[in-house]
């Protein structure tokens, strides 16, 4: 393995290959094959996210993957933003289609024409629908497995409300869902930003996003929420009749956690020089059992039989794999450590005689001797301990990467030396601020990520780090993926 | 509601609209929007099928939705079979692609080039991979929601073995999985056929399929398994080195349960004149609670409060919905009966005084008085009872629709009067038998579905129903969807 801290990018490229997370050899550029070990974790992530969405009043639907060109062109900013990346279907069999179809890069223009049919009165609101889906964007930027590819796996939630305020409350709920899943469950810390006006979703009024940090100090955008205002409801005629019999345009939000990208953050945040470190709830195998056998020893049968007994018992609550292959114990240790299995149980002759096993926790590599009777309890403990420990560790590291700067030189130096988020005083996050952001990018390779969601902090007598005019807002800068 | 028996097609079209299963108004022909009520059931079906596949040694992966034209054209029979229905992506943004991409109509040609990289030695076999995926086929036949559309939701399992015999054992396991999920879980009876040579999957050696019957006596193909032999392994160079160091082509099978189509069979098999009848395990809501209130009665609050108490208690084990809307109880009964919710609990003033509820089972509409303390137990019983009852009823009906005929006139008369499967003596299921099958289709609108899988029954002194030559095999005929 490559050392994670010193060369994250090489660590990442090595781990996705060694742990068999994906195969890059599919002969279509920007498209990859997701292998069982990552898919099994991502399925668990889907399940968790969908549970939380449903608890918050969302219901699942499946919309078509193809969008007729006429739908797609209805909202002008949106079409401008997405058209350069759209994959177009033009033929069926040998025949040219009368109208070309877009492979959805996102589903606003597939869903909202239906919403306009579904919503009549206030009783139809709020409407909160999500779908688990793949989307396709013919990216021109360099692709990176799980992080940016031409096909990705996400959930998109599209919500409709009678009032602006309800839509804004939804933005808050989306942020809370990110907190609940990303941090509480997956241990991925993030800051929730309101993006500057020059960096929002095509067609949105405002864009909010959860940004995490990768081990090299660069930021990665995770779920984002778009306050669409009435832009799309006007374009797609999504109206409701209020109590006075008046037709009003609805207020909309959309929310998109990209599961494959969150997986990239998961493995990067917790992984170490030995490989993956997976939280219990998202590990395809939670416990691996390694019997320590000696060639031709008469004890082998007893050891295996005890392993099978423990496997059966633990399988009631956990996903257990007994590695009975012909490889050496040392090979197995390395292999399953690389795969990130949270707990290993070793059982040899001496353990059997002692009535105990060696239990090894992946996240610390701590080895403890556990009597047979206490295994179940110790694993329950380990489950909780690992979750807490991963969260604490990642949070501490993350917080150490949030800094402040008030001149370009120190900004550049922080970004260069440790990366992370740097708070800077800034003139404005309206379109007028764009040249200042460009100057930052040119001088520091830093990208302005926006202001902290719902933050009350405001500069008093400070100057914009870029133009030197009076600073009205704090924005955060980071180098990005 | 339309009466199901007398006009199944109208019943079906009505129920998918009234129970809000899908919306046909998406403005792309052959593409529909799947609504929450059907999606929630289909997600449960996915989960069950995936559980069974994993238990049988399959692991999940995600392959790209797009297949380069060069892959697609590698197996000649396959390409001939699928090309007329392929949707082609030719442009990205404004640029024409160098090579066009097929939207997968099925994934052999996406997966097997990867398999050829993954498989080297005997230790890599068997390889058993599945994916949950959408596929696209630009059908020219009339589409019917859930049954045949241009986009459908399925699982495809693609397995590779060292020997022919292992591949044949997999066919048997696929049949058993169909039995386990389709019949044991969903209560959908079927016969498992080996298709005649003129009706097999493009590129396969043999095709096997589970065929069920719809209420009008027409058959619907459910999961099918294709014995691919070495056809694809030779085309895609899927080889392994055996213990003697010799390179050998692998043996392959693929298996495809179409979840959206199985859903069509589920609702059609069990539904009645009041609407859907869903088995407990596949109902989005398992118990609906209807409070019986009187306007301005002081008891209303007590009734609602008891309902909430029961809701909380039952929610521990079941998915419960308390319908506290302003509609009348009668409206609610009809509505939830139409949605197929397995159990309804009614609670009014008299019930409250008696310390009991009225429990109504959807499948029989039987109403029983149940003391508060026994509700949980009665619902556990109802769960099992409903499953058994649906299975028994559907099986009995199905078996009554399996007949025999030995001349064209009686075949036609059975197909005309009651439909179902009719066993007929036939000359051969090799390609030579095709004209005989065509004659049957011309004279009776019947379609030859094949021979019963693993059946030992053989005609002795009978003649082919079509050509009059010596009959060597029994084949089954049905009108089809």
Specify the pLDDT at position B5.
65
SS3 at position A256: strand
Determine whether the interchain pair A68/B28 forms a contact, defined as Cβ–Cβ distance below 8 Å. yes
pLDDT at A215 > cutoff 70 = yes
Pairing of strands B251-256, B151-161: antiparallel
Contact residues, chain A, for B129 at CB < 8 Å: 36
pLDDT tens for A292-305 read 999 888 999 999 99
DSSP H stretches of helix in A76-126: 76-82, 108-118
- Tokens 């195998």 — which residue? A285
Return d(Cα A455, Cα A473) in angstroms, integer.
Answer: 10
- Per-residue pLDDT for chain B (481 aa), expressed as one digit of tens each? 566 767 999 999 999 999 999 999 999 999 999 999 999 999 999 999 999 999 999 999 999 999 999 998 888 787 888 888 999 999 999 999 999 999 999 999 999 999 999 999 999 999 999 999 999 999 888 889 999 999 999 999 999 999 999 999 999 999 999 999 999 999 999 999 999 999 999 899 999 999 999 999 999 999 999 999 999 999 999 999 999 999 999 999 999 999 999 999 999 999 999 999 999 999 999 999 999 999 889 999 999 999 999 999 999 999 999 999 999 999 999 999 999 999 999 999 999 999 999 999 999 999 999 999 999 999 999 999 999 999 999 999 999 999 999 999 999 999 999 999 999 999 999 999 999 999 999 999 999 999 999 899 999 999 999 999 999 999 999 999 8
Rg of chain A over all Cα atoms, to the nearest angstrom: 26
The answer to whether B465 and B424 have CB atoms below 8 angstroms apart is yes
- Residue A282 token pair: 């998202």
Min Cα–Cα distance to chain B from A258, Å: 15
Q: What confidence score (pLDDT) does residue B64 get?
A: 98
Q: Is B102 on the interface with A (CB under 8 A)?
A: no
* In chain A, residues 9-28 whose CB comes closer than 8 Å to chain B: 23, 25-28
- CA-to-CA separations, B291 to A94, A335, B328, B347, in angstroms, rounded: 59, 58, 10, 5
Judged by DSSP in three states, B119 sits in: coil
Cβ-Cβ contacts under 8 Å, B154 against chain A = none
Tally of CB atoms within 10 A around B355:
10
Residue numbers in A near B119 (CB within 8 A):
none
Residues paired with residue A402 on neighbouring β-strands, in sequence order: A421
A151:B86 CB<8 A: no
As to burial, measured by CB atoms within 10 angstroms (0-12 exposed, 13-18 middle, 19+ buried), residue B257 is buried
In the predicted model, what is the mean pLDDT of residues A163-169?
Answer: 98
User: Measured between alpha carbons, how far is residue A207 from residues A77, A203, A219, A394 in Å?
Assistant: 14, 10, 17, 26
Give yes or no for B141 touching A (CB within 8 A): no
Per residue in A226-268, pLDDT (tens digit) is 999 999 999 999 999 999 999 999 999 999 999 999 999 999 9
CA–CA min distance B87, chain A (Å): 4
Cβ distance B93 to A110 less than 8 Å, yes or no, reads: no
At residue A77, the pLDDT reads: 81
Say yes or no to pLDDT of A335 above 80: yes
Asked if B304 has any chain A CB less than 8 Å from its own CB, the reply is: no
From the list B254, B258, B130, the residue with the least C-alpha distance to B204 is B254
Is the pLDDT at A225 greater than 80? The verdict is yes
Torsion sign (Cα): A210, A212, A218, A220:
negative
- The whole-angstrom distance between A407's CA and the closest CA on chain B is 40
Ranges in chain A annotated CATH 3.30.930.10 = 19-270
Tell me if A63 and B33 make a contact (CB, 8 A cut-off).
yes
Tell me what pLDDT residue A72 has.
Answer: 87
In chain B, where does the domain assigned CATH 3.40.50.800 lie?
A: 285-384
Q: What are phi and psi of A147, to 5 degrees?
A: -90, -50
Residue numbers in A near B64 (CB within 8 A): 26, 28, 31-33, 151
Fold classification of A19-270 (topology level): BirA Bifunctional Protein; domain 2 (3.30.930)
- Which DSSP symbol is given to B121? B
Peptide bond before residue B293 is cis, with ω within 30 degrees of 0: no
B353 burial level (CB within 10 Å; 0-12, 13-18, 19+): exposed
Q: How far apart are CA A258 and CA A45, in angstroms?
A: 10
Say whether the peptide bond before residue A196 is cis (omega within 30 degrees of 0): no
> Is residue B82 a contact partner of residue B202, using CB atoms and an 8 Å limit?
yes
Could you tell me if B237 lies within 8 Å of chain A, comparing CB atoms?
A: no
**Strand blocks (E) in A323-434:** 343-347, 356-361, 367-371, 402-404, 421-426
Report the top-level CATH class of B402-478: alpha beta
Helix axes B375-399, B259-270, angle to 10 degrees: 90
Using a CB-CB cut-off of 8 Å, the residues of chain B touching A17 are none
- Please give the C-alpha separations between residue A169 and each of A157, A161, A203, B81, in angstroms, as whole numbers: 15, 10, 20, 52
In terms of CA atoms, which chain B residue is nearest residue A127? B36
Domain with CATH 3.40.50.800 in chain A: 287-382
d(CA B41, CA B47): 10
Task: Using CB atoms, pick whichever of A28, A32, A68 lies closest to residue B101.
Answer: A28
Residues of chain A found within 8 Å of residue B28, distances taken between Cβ atoms: 64, 66-68, 101
Yes or no, beta carbons of A65 and B65 under 8 Å apart:
yes
* Cβ–Cβ below 8 Å for B103 and A101: no
Q: Is the pLDDT of residue A320 over 80?
A: yes
Q: What is the pLDDT of residue B308?
A: 97
Q: Spell out which residues of chain B touch residue A85, defining contact as CB-CB under 8 Å.
A: 92-93
Q: Which two tokens stand for residue B141?
A: 């036949």
Beta pairing, strands B219-229 & B251-256: antiparallel
CA distances, B87 to each of A99, A268, B83 (Å): 13, 37, 9
* A86–B66 CB contact, under 8 Å: no
State how far the Cα of A151 lies from the Cα of A38, in Å rounded to an integer. 16
Does residue A129 belong to the interface with chain B, where contact is any CB pair within 8 Å? yes
State how far residue B40 is from chain A, nearest Cα, in angstroms.
7
Q: Give dist(CA A30, CA A60) in Å, integer.
A: 28
Q: Is B376 helix (H, G, I), strand (E, B) or coil?
A: helix
B30 in contact with A at a CB cutoff of 8 Å?
A: no
Q: And the tokens for A269?
A: 């945040």
Are A193 and A211 a contacting pair, CB within 8 Å? Answer: yes
Asked if B478 and B213 touch (Cβ cutoff 8 Å), the reply is: yes
The answer to whether residue B88 neighbours chain A at the CB level (below 8 Å) is yes
Element (H, E) at A155: strand A151-161
User: What local confidence, expressed as pLDDT, does residue A83 receive?
Assistant: 85
CA A319 to chain CA centroid, nearest Å: 24
Give the pLDDT of residue A2: 60
Contact B345, B287 (CB under 8 A): yes
For residues A240 and A199, the answer to whether their CB atoms sit within 8 Å is no
Backbone angles phi, psi at B317, to 5 degrees: -115, -20
Q: At B465, give phi and psi (nearest 5°).
A: -60, -20
**Does the pLDDT of residue A53 top 90, yes or no?**
yes
H/E stretch holding A322 reads strand A320-322
Among A26, A61, A101, whose Cβ lies nearest the Cβ of B35? A61
CATH 3.30.110.30 spans which residues of chain A? 402-478
> Is the Cα torsion angle A332, A334, A338, A343 positive or negative in sign?
positive
Residue A4 has pLDDT above 80, yes or no: no
| CATH 3.30.930.10 domain extents, chain B | 8-270
Structure tokens, B335: 């509505």
Residue of A nearest to B40 (CA): A60
Summarised one tens digit per residue, pLDDT across range A414-436 is 999 999 999 999 999 999 999 99
Residue A392 pLDDT greater than 80, yes or no: yes
CATH of B285-384, one of 3.40.50.300, 3.30.428.10, 3.40.50.800, 3.30.70.360: 3.40.50.800
First to last CA, chain A: 23
Which of A28, A88, A93 shows the shortest C-beta gap to B64?
A28
- Tell me the pLDDT of chain A averaged across its residues: 95
- Spatial distance between the Cα atoms of B245 and B122, rounded to a whole number of angstroms: 10
Taking alpha carbons only, the member of A165, A125, A129, A160 closest to residue A233 is: A160
A242 contacts: CB under 8 Å, gap ≥ 6: A122, A162, A248
Q: Which residue of B has its CA nearest to A63?
A: B33
Q: Which of B20, B33, B141 to mutate to test the interface with A (most CBs of A within 10 A)?
A: B33
Q: Which residues of B touch A115 (CB under 8 A)?
A: none
A460 in contact with chain B, both atoms CB, cutoff 8 A:
no
How many inter-chain contacts (A to B, CB under 8 Å) are there?
A: 149
Average pLDDT over residues A114-142: 95
Whether pLDDT at A82 is above 90? no
Q: What is the CATH number of domain A287-382?
A: 3.40.50.800
Check CB contact under 8 Å for A84 and B61. no
For tokens 């398992």, what's the residue? B286
Q: Is A83 on the interface with B (CB under 8 A)?
A: yes
Per-residue pLDDT at A1 = 59
Position A464 confidence tier, pLDDT thresholds 50, 70, 90:
very high
Which residues make Cβ contacts (< 8 Å) with residue B393, sequence separation at least 6? Answer: none
Tokens read off for A208: 């909010």
Question: Hey, is the C-beta of A321 within 8 angstroms of any chain B C-beta?
Answer: no
| Interface with chain B: mutation pick from A24, A93, A127, A339, highest number of B CBs within 10 Å | A93
Q: Which of B101, B103, B153 sits opposite A62 (nearest CB)?
A: B153
Q: For chain A, say whether B40 makes contact (Cβ under 8 Å).
A: yes
Query: In the predicted model, is pLDDT for residue A63 greater than 90?
Result: yes
The dihedral built from the CA positions of residue A302, A304, A308 and A313, taken in this order, carries a sign that is positive
Query: Residue B333: enclosing H or E segment and its boundaries?
Result: helix B329-339
- From chain A, the residues in CB contact with B85 under 8 A are 92-93
**Would you say domain B8-270 falls under CATH 3.20.20.10?**
no
At residue A271, the 3 state secondary structure works out as: coil
CA B382 – CA B283 distance, rounded (Å): 14
């Amino acid at each position: 393995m490559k050392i994670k801290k010193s060369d994250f990018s090489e660590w990442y490229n090595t781990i996705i290959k060694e742990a068999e997370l994906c195969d890059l050899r599919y002969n279509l550029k920007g498209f990859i094959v997701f292998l069982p070990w990552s898919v099994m974790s991502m399925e668990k992530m889907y399940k968790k996210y969908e549970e939380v969405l449903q608890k918050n009043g969302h219901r699942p639907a499946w919309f078509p993957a193809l969008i007729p060109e006429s739908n797609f062109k209805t909202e002008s900013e949106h079409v401008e933003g997405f058209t350069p990346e759209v994959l177009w279907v033009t033929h069926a069999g040998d025949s040219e289609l009368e109208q070309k179809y877009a492979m959805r890069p996102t589903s606003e223009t597939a869903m909202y024409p239906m919403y306009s049919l579904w919503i009549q009165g206030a009783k139809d609101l709020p409407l909160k629908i999500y779908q688990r889906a793949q989307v396709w964007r013919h990216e021109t930027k360099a692709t990176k497995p799980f992080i940016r590819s031409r096909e990705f796996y996400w959930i998109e939630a599209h919500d409709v409300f009678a009032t602006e305020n309800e839509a804004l409350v939804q933005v808050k709920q989306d942020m809370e869902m990110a907190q609940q899943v990303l941090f509480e469950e997956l241990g991925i810390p993030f800051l929730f930003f309101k993006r500057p006006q020059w960096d929002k979703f095509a067609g949105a009024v405002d864009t909010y996003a959860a940004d995490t940090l990768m081990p090299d100090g660069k930021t990665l955008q995770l779920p984002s929420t778009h306050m669409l205002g009435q832009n799309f409801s006007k374009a797609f005629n999504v109206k409701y009749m209020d109590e006075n019999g008046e037709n009003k345009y609805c207020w909309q939000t959309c929310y998109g956690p990209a599961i494959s990208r969150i997986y990239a953050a998961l493995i990067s945040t917790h992984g170490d020089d030995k490989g993956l470190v997976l939280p219990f709830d998202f590990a395809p195998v939670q416990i691996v059992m390694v019997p320590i056998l000696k060639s031709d020893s008469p004890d082998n049968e007893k050891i295996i039989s005890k392993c099978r007994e423990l496997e059966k018992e633990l399988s009631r609550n956990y996903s257990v794999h007994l590695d009975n292959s012909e490889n050496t114990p040392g090979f197995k240790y390395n292999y399953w450590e690389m795969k990130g299995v949270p707990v290993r149980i070793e059982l040899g002759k001496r353990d059997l005689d002692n009535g105990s096993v060696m239990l090894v926790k992946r996240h610390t590599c701590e080895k403890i001797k556990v009597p047979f009777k206490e295994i179940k309890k110790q694993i329950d403990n380990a489950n909780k301990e690992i979750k807490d420990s991963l969260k604490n560790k990642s949070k501490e590291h993350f917080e150490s990467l949030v800094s402040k700067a008030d001149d370009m030189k120190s900004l550049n130096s922080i970004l260069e030396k440790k990366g992370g988020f740097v708070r800077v005083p800034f003139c404005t996050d309206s379109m007028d601020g764009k040249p200042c952001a460009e100057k930052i990018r040119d001088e520091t390779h830093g990208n302005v990520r926006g202001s902290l969601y719902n933050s009350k902090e405001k500069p008093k007598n400070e100057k914009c780090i870029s133009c030197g005019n009076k600073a009205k807002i704090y924005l955060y800068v980071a180098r990005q993926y």
